[in-house]
Structure 1
Amino acid sequence: MRLKFSQFLVLFLMIGGLMLGGCSTEQVSSNTSPASTTTSKVTETSSNSTAKVTTVSENKSESIPGMKNLPRLDGKATVVMTVKGSPITIEVDGDNAPITAGNFVDLVQKGFYDGLTFHRVVRDPQPFVVQGGDPRGDGTGGYVDQKIGTERRIPLEIKPEGEDEPVYGQIIKKKPVLTHKLGAVAMARSQMPDSASSQFYFALADLAFLDSNYAVFGYVTDGFDVVNQIQQGDKIDSAKVTQGAENLKTPE
């Protein structure tokens, strides 16, 4: 079915809002939105369709610089995020998104998300996302790793169906194992694929058009009613790993 112009414009604006706002070269991961514009997605997908695929095994030799220094989740973990006194249970999937899941669990363990604001909530004209995890509170910030003195950035990580390992740094056409169904939890980023840092979003509906463009790393398994009540400006009371903390592997 062909989209009317008004529907396309709404979709374009919604996706564009998922990106990190107003980023420069040095702030590319600070302006996170769950999606880039429809135009840029199509361009990236086309331009990368013949690009070399980078897998986990290749990463060991630093095909993507810095990946060996990122936290990794080998298996599953459970995170309970409390908002306005009510819990949201998230199953974090390190089996299918080890780097993205490891980054999230590591930040939870550090207490990074405690007290941060949900800076973007889009429910009209249709349910879209609840986005948070920005220390600046305006959609332009990320986690500054004191070891390196700059924002930690993680690569786009998508595991295609039928594959043994994720693909890194590429927007792909294949359907991913982890899809943007209702309750998905995924990383926001700028137009650059490898620019995610700490900002994440909850999917308020099935958002298949974001699949393979943004990295899903888990799902809300309980408390989605709490997610549905989050308003812009609400804060995360706390986030804690309740199961699977032993699966987190951090570099020495």
Structure 2
Amino acid sequence: MVDIADPENALSIKLKSGDVIIQLLPDVAPKHVERIKDLARRGEYDNVAFHRVIEGFMAQTGDVANGDMEDGFNLRRAGTGGSSQPDLPAEFSKLPFDRGVAGMARSQNPNSANSQFFIMFEDGHFLNGQYTVWGRVISGMEHVDAITRGEPPANPDRMISVQVVADQEAKA
């Protein structure tokens, strides 16, 4: 188990192959970190599919409007929805999109990030300064690497549960 210095700013994502811990970066992207924590605490990320998973690039998830339907109908639209909350203003930084970095997905509008995010399989520096970095994987990257590929995958992997680590510790 990894030593987590700030459990209030760490996210635990349970995948079928194991747990992924993301260190949140509130000093870099405070509004985005707050949104991620809020959606996690509401349980909105639980059972949401990885709807866009590109080999050598990234795994995208977090469409809380369309990514949790078992019938597949909404999953075909996954990637087009967000949460009931308003879109967020961009919080671009100088942090590079390296392997394991978590960033917010958005449309062409830089201020359109909402609930969807992605985790980088490999460095993707062409994204630097154009998408908001809000965290980085500090444990369990092998589980991210095991996510089923596809756009969307035929049988997508899901985030079984997503919790702020401090909340897990409070229940223990």
Q: TM-score, normalised by structure 1?
A: 0.55
Query: Which residue of structure 1 lines up, in the alignment, with residue 83 of structure 2?
Result: 143
Residue pairs, 1:93-172, within 5 angstroms? 93-123=25-55, 127-135=56-64, 136-137=66-67, 138-145=78-85, 152-159=86-93
Question: Quick check: 1:82–1:236 contact (8 Å CA) kept in 2?
Answer: yes
Aligned-pair identity in percent equals: 35
Question: Quick check: 2:28–2:91 contact (8 Å CA) kept in 1?
Answer: no
Q: Which amino acid aligns with 1:155?
A: P
Q: What is the DSSP-based 3-state SS (H/G/I as helix, E as strand, rest coil) of the residue aligned with 2:48?
A: coil
Deviation string 1:75-132 (CA, Å, 9 cap, x unpaired) is: 9601110011510000001011111111111111111100110000100xxx001000
Higher mean C-alpha displacement, 228-237 vs 75-84:
75-84
- Residue 244 of structure 1, CA deviation: 8.4
Query: Which residue of structure 1 lines up, in the alignment, with residue 4 of structure 2?
Result: none
Query: Which residue of structure 1 lines up, in the alignment, with residue 128 of structure 2?
Result: 211
1:92 and 2:19 matched: no
- Structure 2 CA distance for aligned equivalents of residues 122 and 85 of structure 1: 19
- Structure 2 CA distance for aligned equivalents of residues 243 and 97 of structure 1: 19
Question: Quick check: 2:17–2:143 contact (8 Å CA) kept in 1?
Answer: no
- Residue 206 of structure 1, CA deviation: 0.8
- Residue 179 of structure 1, CA deviation: 1.7
- Structure 1 CA distance for aligned equivalents of residues 15 and 132 of structure 2: 23
Calculate the aligned-residue CA RMSD, in Å: 1.7
Q: Which amino acid aligns with 1:140?
A: T
Q: Which amino acid aligns with 1:128?
A: F
Q: 2:142 aligns with which of 225, 229, 234?
A: 225
- Structure 2 CA distance for aligned equivalents of residues 244 and 183 of structure 1: 23
- Structure 2 CA distance for aligned equivalents of residues 76 and 95 of structure 1: 13
1:188 and 2:108 matched: no
Moved segments of 4+, more than 3 Å: none
Q: Which amino acid aligns with 1:141?
A: G
Q: TM-score, normalised by structure 2?
A: 0.80
The 1:82/1:97 distance shift into structure 2, 3 A limit, reads: same
